[in-house]
């Protein structure tokens, strides 16, 4: 599993995309915390950690499913999960 850095992402769109993922999606913070974002509780905790103090922190996303990774990478890059 490769990890990519998550940049300035709309959280509502990100959560919708997570619901579409088939495999595990891990949020890895700079402090080394790992959150499995397939769990709603982990999503809430991970998103709160990601937006600490109103500032989007550096975090990486790692996916067990290559299709999920492609979708989330596209969302991170273009701000949408739909293919052109």
Q: Round to whole Å and give the CA distance between 51 and 36.
A: 17
22 pLDDT more than 90: yes
Q: Which carries the bigger pLDDT value, residue 73 or residue 57?
A: 73
Q: Which tokens go with 15?
A: 């959560």
For residue 4, what pLDDT is reported? 87
Q: Which two tokens stand for residue 53?
A: 């103090």
Write down the domain spans for the chain: 3-78
Its pTM stands at 0.80
pLDDT at 53 over 80: no
Taking residues 14-31, report their average pLDDT: 91
CATH topology of domain 3-78: 3.30.1340
Q: What is the DSSP string of 56-68?
A: PPPEEEEESSHHH
Q: What is the DSSP letter of 48?
A: H
Distance CA 59, CA 61 (A): 7
pLDDT at 46: 81
Instruction: Measure the CA–CA gap between 82 and 75, rounded to whole angstroms.
Output: 8
Residue 73 in this model has a pLDDT that exceeds 70: yes
Q: Considering the chain, what is the average pLDDT of its residues? A: 84
């Amino acid at each position: 599993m490769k990890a990519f850095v998550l940049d300035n992402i709309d959280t509502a769109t990100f959560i919708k995309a997570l619901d579409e993922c088939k495999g595990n999606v891990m949020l890895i913070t700079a402090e080394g915390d790992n959150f499995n974002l397939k769990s709603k509780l982990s999503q809430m905790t991970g998103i709160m950690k990601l937006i600490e103090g109103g500032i989007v922190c550096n975090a990486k996303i790692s996916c067990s499913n290559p299709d999920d990774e492609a979708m989330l990478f596209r969302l991170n890059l273009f701000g949408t999960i739909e293919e052109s």
